[in-house]
Amino acid sequence: MTQRLTTTDHRRDAAGLHYIYPVISRRAGGLSIGINFNTNNSCNWRCVYCQVPDLKRGSAPPLDFALLESELKHFLDRVLHGDFFDCFGVPEQQRVIKDIAISGNGEPTSLPEFAEAVRLIGEIGEAKGIFPGSGLVLITNGSLMHQAKVQEGLRELNRFGGEVWFKLDSPTKAGRVAINNSLESDDKVLQHLHICAGLCPTKLQTCVLNYKRYPWSQEEKQAYLELLSRIKNEIKLEKIMLYSIARQSMQPEANELTPVPEEQMREFAKRIEKLGYKVSVSV
């Protein structure tokens, strides 16, 4: 029986591997090869919309480099030369690798050997001829950008033509406490964003959602626009990426969350575009 990949199915065990998982990504627009460093379901944040079951606070465990190398090489061979697309029922128009995405079940930059891991992934992708036709993406909450190992990893990412998708779900500390369970100050967020964008091309990704305890209000939207306006000439952002929830949250707040209608998201995107930014909307 064919196991179909969809934009709402991001199971980490879809291919039966430890570190590697395939997804059809809404934001990438096709096949994304995910790399999960946080196989222990640990993260330093706890976003209310997170789809990771049994999520706990913590960091990524030490990496088995030999296993990651073996899995990634064999998986790329299967996609490029084998039966992957047929086995997973991928439509003809999506039978292309959009990117290799360092993401997974927690904050990937918490990996102790982060820079070395990025280098290995980049070298494998380069050897297999994946780059520059496909992208290399780091999806991060940006909270560890002050660490030397993370900055070195961003330099490696940049060396292979990669980019960062930096999470900012709320422009206010109160919003980040409510949505991300993060205590980062406004100043710290902007410091980290400045570091990130200075080392590697960076896109800002924002999950907009209706949350009973912290609604997506006009005040929240205005604060977001004011923040973007303030940093326009200080921090170079390649794009603002808006998306809403499409998969079931595995957090206690799940029943309090609903997606924002596409029409409202596109209306907000137009307001951001007026500030001079490129914007994408994923539904």
Interval 238-247 mean pLDDT = 94
> Would you state the pLDDT for residue 4?
59
Mean pLDDT of the 76-86 span: 91
**Residue 105 in domain:** yes
SS3 of residue 204 by DSSP: strand
| DSSP characters over 35-80 | EES-TT-EES---TT---TT-EE--PPPP-HHHHHHHHHHHHHHHH
What residue numbers bound the domain in which 33 lies? Answer: 20-207
- 9: pLDDT strictly greater than 60: no
Q: What percentage of the chain has pLDDT greater than the value 70?
A: 93
Phi/psi of residue 279, nearest 5 degrees:
-135, 140
In a domain, 275, yes or no: no
Any domain includes 277: no
Each residue's pLDDT tens digit, 111-152: 999 999 999 999 999 999 999 899 999 999 999 999 999 999
Does 2 score more than 90 pLDDT? no
Q: Phi/psi at 121 (nearest 5 deg)?
A: -60, -45
pTM of the model: 0.92
pLDDT confidence bin for 85, thresholds 50/70/90: confident
Q: How many domains does the chain have?
A: 1
Question: In this predicted structure, what is the pLDDT of residue 95?
Answer: 82
Share of the chain above pLDDT 90, in %: 83
Confidence (pLDDT) at 14:
59
Q: What is the CATH number of the domain that holds 53?
A: 3.20.20.70
In this predicted structure, the answer to whether residue 7 has a pLDDT above a threshold of 90 is: no
Q: Is residue 268 part of a domain?
A: no
**What pLDDT is attached to residue 1?**
38
Q: Is residue 241 part of a domain?
A: no
255 part of a folded domain: no
Given a cut of 70, whether residue 10 has pLDDT beyond it is no
146 assigned to some structural domain: yes
Maximum CA pair distance of the chain? 53
What pLDDT does residue 276 have?
97
Instruction: Tell me if 46 is assigned to some domain.
Output: yes
- Higher pLDDT, residue 268 or 27: 268
pLDDT at 173 over 70: yes
Q: What is the pLDDT of residue 93?
A: 79
Whether the Cβ atoms of residue 104 and residue 117 lie closer than 8 Å to each other: no
| pLDDT per residue as tens digits for the range 40-64 | 999 999 999 999 999 999 999 999 9
